[in-house]
Amino acid sequence: MSRETAVARLKAAGVEPGEIIDAGKHVPGLRICSFKDPAGNIVELMHGWLDEDPAE
């Protein structure tokens, strides 16, 4: 599922996510969107981040 689809589903459920931030100049392909859950915790959706090199 794309970030845009996930954000659209959150909005449809009444959650107001922040803007999608393009952090590609720091990590190629990285995009981030954050929002607060009902308990007030900040949750981030990230796309384009790899913890390890997939070639290894």
Asked if the model's pLDDT at residue 54 lies above 70, the reply is no
Q: Which residues contact 6 (CB under 8 A, 6 or more apart)?
A: 33, 45
Instruction: Please state the rounded mean pLDDT for residues 26-51.
Output: 84
Q: Which long-range contacts (CB under 8 A, 24 or more apart) does 42-50 make?
A: 45/3, 45/6, 45/7, 45/17, 47/2, 47/3, 48/24
Query: pLDDT of 4-31, one tens digit each?
Result: 787 788 888 878 788 889 998 988 889 8
